[in-house]
Chains A and B, each alone.
Chain A
């Protein structure tokens, strides 16, 4: 493997060096090459938000991101926003409020909500709805998702 094919970035707080050809998509790199299957593939077209990861802290659709664009940057997946033991406040709220049914869209929502709550610790409903408008859920009608994020915000200091 020639060195231009070597991709270096930080993944969930740890430095990573991985072989990566130019056409590789970040979602494929994360799921298949690095084995982090919490990030889901729903449409490959940037429409459903199931593949959302944080790129330098910002919610990003990994299915529309060329992997080589993350060179030198920080990628955080659902595995990275999950504490080593137990659940984060927003994860706990999703469980308690029934904000996950089939669960396939859930990692994307959790990643998006984590970024929202970091920047806006006490979001109102409109702010929550705007933040999650790039994530599709077909099970819940979004209401329990909004309630869970709101509750996590209430819990924040």
Chain B
């Protein structure tokens, strides 16, 4: 059946420079710390030096007596618990009764200036009873003497346990032609965005509270402030200035944001809390340290029979997104493949360490590494090319996974074909000289979570408002949060596309809860899909008003008209038409400024079993990456020289942004492979700085060839799916598998540091397993 060619668009699908680019390249973009308020005080936090301690008493009298100190707060003042997930409210703004990690906030001050605030912090005396440190999640899986939280499962430190079984895993493993087992240990990694967290709060005499904060999710912050401070949401105004990167690290409502607001309420003055880099590391919420145990079985033709996965996830001191993490680490392991039998047991365990949370490709990264390494091993065992093994198992379009994820569009086979062809795989795989190798890694990720975290009251996941006045400028309001990924640009481009106007007519307004309709923010790769659909709906409503006005002016039926660049004209008779402004002014005669509203919500998805909604999404992205590596077997050092990144994000609406997301994702994935690691001795973080926690330098970045092969998604806006997180996932196993091709050593743990490479080569030689003749 011949299908009609996909439509083309005036702006969308091209390279659209970011609308705030000129402000950012000149230093004129305003971030939270750039804002000064009259009479603003400095907020400072006292952090726990103990990994686990009962707070017997806190003496703040000397701090309070210091001239210039306006307020000193301890946990008893605002003790209502909160957390990003409604089911796991286990955080407090300031520690109540116990400190649970080195870095936990135990008191806060507001003072006239920095030196006074720091002096006041140093004058606070805390009397504690030290409690056992639980740095190892394995210890916390059974009953412990002093659980970190009372909500731990059966007196243990287990925060969440997920057990799922679909099909019959034991029976297929018994009949399998080949099975492998990969046990992997993953160090924690962190976002390392460049802008440290910053918050300003200002309580005013009209009974309102305004909060400016570097946040990815203004709406959840708004809710948490209201819950903990017991102020109705309509008396709180949350403003999101420019945000200097997030990657998930600014998606929880964070304790310091609430503390800052509390200090302002106490003092009646504006208060700013600005983090230093050590604060950022202690706040963490990065990718969980994880131990995966993965078994996969295939039949003689390489078809996957089943997965059997166990995971132990080190949560740190709080729940954060951890319940989601625990599900994702299992359910996101299946796609892009058809897995008919699946068993998973995941446990997330509290430890006395900085909390882990959501980080780019949350829950889908570590398990994906284990699975893709296992598939590489199976391909070798079965004598099947790694590409062929994967294509034989590709999830078909319009299908369902065994756990009832609805798959609509997938261009995974096109990803595989493009990566194989462009990388020259067939000439390179197992054929490059010793020390050089290529590896394949694939990926699968949600394009937005089908379940918003807060689903009561039931409301759309995204709403966009438009207003156009006689000047012809279009103001766009939405609480979607641009944190650098380019969502403001996409929002403006979609509105301009639908209305046929120049991009510079469209002004995306700063997120401000007083005027921005709710969108639940930048996480779970939801913004393009959901905000995009809401923006399209709003713009189409506005377009209908303009077309109706043009129809009245031209004495034509609205159906006879079309919108072209800055003009509305009769189809087939371009000489019969009016300009955008003429139509606008006619439309305004009856009602003044035109407004329109669009929203988006997902339809019901998923099965009816417990946890069935975790991982359901209106669409999924797919990836196939090939990495090429060169290893120095004298030093164990290696470089990734090139990555061919074939990605299915549906239609790429802004190619500049999609490329930027892929290249940035590869940088972040490369870091996790090559050396990024939150290094703990017990509960103490040993490398809380960008000097000791190294992210890759420009010289370490591989050449990247981006292959955007996705077909239009049926429900995504203009055919688009996500490109913000999925592009990270395939990077890691592509490199790991390329190292195997280079030197014949399997690496199941991350990071892969040069010492591990040398040790692996030595061990292979000691076992008498030559590789490529060496």
Contacts and interface: CB of A to CB of B under 8 A. Distances in A.
B22 A87 contact: yes
A102 interface: yes
Interface in A7-47: 36-45, 47
B702 to A, nearest CB: 9
B25 A94 contact: yes
Contact of B25 (A43, A45, A110, A146): A110
A153 interface: no
A51 to B, nearest CB: 11
Interface stretch (B409-417, B692-700, B764-772): B692-700
A37 B27 contact: yes
B347 to A, nearest CB: 31
Contacts of A39: 27
A137 interface: yes
Contacts of A47: 277, 689-691
Contacts of A45: 277, 689-691
A102 B194 CA distance: 9
B151 interface: no
B486 A102 contact: no
Contact of B698 (A50, A96, A98, A146): A146
Interface stretch (A54-62, A67-75, A115-123, A128-136): A128-136
A6 interface: no
Interface size class for chain A?
35 or more
A141 B727 CA distance: 13
B27 A138 contact: no
A101 B485 contact: yes
B701 A138 contact: no
Interface string B203-245: 0000000000000000000000000000000000000001111
B17 interface: yes
A106 B17 contact: no
Contact of A137 (B194, B276, B485, B699): B194
A43 B196 CA distance: 8
A98 B15 contact: yes
Contact of B663 (A37, A79, A128, A144): A144
A144 B194 contact: no
B660 A140 contact: yes
Interface string B5-38: 0000000000101101111111111110110000
Nearest to A47: B690
B484 A42 contact: no
B194 A50 contact: yes
A138 B193 contact: yes
Contacts of A42: 194-196, 277, 690
Nearest to B277: A43
B128 interface: no
Nearest to A143: B663
Interface residues of B, number: 55
A125 B691 CA distance: 25
A95 B22 contact: yes
Contacts of A43: 196, 276-277, 689-690
A106 B20 CA distance: 12
B695 A95 contact: no
Contacts of B34: 37
Nearest to A46: B691
B667 interface: yes
B160 to A, nearest CB: 29
Interface in A84-104: 87, 91, 94-98, 100-104
A65 interface: no
Contacts of A151: none
Name A's interface SS: loop
A103 B20 contact: yes
Name B's interface SS: loop
Contacts of A110: 25-27
A40 B698 contact: no
B467 to A, nearest CB: 26
Contacts of A97: 656
A102 B483 contact: yes
Contact of B668 (A41, A87, A91, A138): A138
A138 B664 contact: yes
A5 B28 CA distance: 30
A143 B668 CA distance: 13
A94 to B, nearest CB: 5
A139 B664 CA distance: 5
Contacts of A94: 21, 25
B105 interface: no
Contacts of B698: 128-129, 132-133, 142, 145-146
Nearest to A94: B25
A100 B18 contact: yes
A42 B701 CA distance: 22
B701 A133 contact: no
B615 to A, nearest CB: 26
B131 interface: no
B321 interface: no
Nearest to B214: A104
B704 A40 contact: no
Contact of B18 (A38, A98, A136, A143): A98
Contacts of A36: 27
B659 interface: yes
A26 to B, nearest CB: 16
A28 B532 CA distance: 41
B727 to A, nearest CB: 10
B510 interface: no
A141 B193 contact: no
B486 to A, nearest CB: 7
Given A38-B27, A138-B193, A138-B668, A101 B484 contact: yes
B17 to A, nearest CB: 5
A98 B25 contact: no
B483 A107 contact: no
B195 A104 contact: yes
Q: Which 5 A-B pairs have the closest CB atoms?
A: A38-B27, A102-B484, A104-B244, A103-B24, A141-B667
Interface of A: 36-45, 47-48, 50, 77-79, 82, 87, 91, 94-98, 100-107, 110, 128-130, 132-133, 136-146
